[in-house]
Amino acid sequence: MGNANTSQSRINFNLLGSDVIRCILKQLPYDDLLPASRVCKLWKNLVAEFYGPDRMIGDTLPLQLAVDTKNVRWANQLLNDKMTVKNQAIFLKAFSLEDMQDVFLDHFDLPWTAEITARVINIGCFHAWKKGYRAALDHGDRQVIFKSFVHVAEKDWKDHIKLYLKSKTFDTIHWDEYSIIRGSINLPTFSKRDRELIDGRRCGTAEVGPIVRVDSPTLDDVVRQPQPATWQHHDYGTDTGSSLSRSSSTDEIQWS
């Protein structure tokens, strides 16, 4: 133990010894342990003695505890650590927490199961979490997306339909699905202009250049021709400049 004489003008923290430093570090909240472990070799080794992203804290995983305590900084640290143990239940809970959902979505590397997709779509629908909604549309379980879409299309449908039509899912849409969409937009609550939006003639309020739809399918087409068709997605970089087209010669429907 070093001399505790206050005449020392320079603080030498290393005088404290590892036992004392360990006691100090154990007083730190979890989200301060990562920076502390990057101070020097001694501190790195001391922190590693009692804390690790893959080690249970009591009966709880660190990431679970970060979510339970709504500690975004700590959750972010853990999600950046490859050693962190993750599971679907933690993500399901995190997606429903406003402060957590974006950081967890950015680090989501588990399979997009039906349960995950349903939760994210649901949160996106009811809490305007477009980032999650869009990610679910792009990567989620196809059947869940479609059922969710038809459900929400009857309600606050405009934003959903825009996102849906821009999603990767729509690239490979099948005729039977398309017919259901068209069925849903023919509900009496939709105006003519709304239906035009879905048909691709215009989007929102702006008229957007020439109509490029060559031979867009009607509901009758769908009924007559139930075979799957190939769809192509052309993104011209605007939310309002999209339209749907179908080439009669190649039987390809183009979204441009």
Partner 1 sequence: MASESISVTTSDDQTIQLSRKHAQMSQTINSMLEDSVGADQEAIPLPNVSSEVLKKVIDWCTHHENDPAPVEKVKKLNKKREYKAKNSTISDEWDKNFVNAELRVIVDILLAANYLDVKGLFELMCKHIANELKGKTPDQIRERFGIQDDLTEEDKAAMRKAWGATKNDS
Residues 177, 184, 117: CA angle, nearest 5 degrees:
55
Which CB sits closer to partner 1, 4 or 205?
Answer: 4
Q: Is 110 in the site for partner 1 (CB under 8 A)?
A: no
Q: What is the DSSP letter of 204?
A: T
Candidate residues 18, 46, 51, 158; the one interacting with partner 1 per rule CB under 8 A: 51
Q: Shortest approach of partner 1 to residue 84 CB, angstroms?
A: 10
30 contributes a contact to partner 1 by CB under 8 A: yes
Whole-number Å distance between alpha carbons of 85 and 54: 5
Pattern 52-91, binding to partner 1, x per CB under 8 A?
Answer: ----xxx--------------x--xx--xxxx--------
Cα dihedral 12→14→19→24 (10° resolution):
60
Which CB sits closer to partner 1, 25 or 185? 25
- As given in the structure block, the two tokens for residue 239 are 């939310």
**Pick 29 or 183: Cβ nearer partner 1:** 29
H or E stretch covering 253: strand 252-255
DSSP codes, 148-169? HHHHHHTSSHHHHHHHHHHSHH
Q: Site residues (CB under 8 A) for partner 1?
A: 1-17, 19-20, 23-30, 32, 34-41, 43-44, 49-51, 56-58, 73, 76-77, 80-83
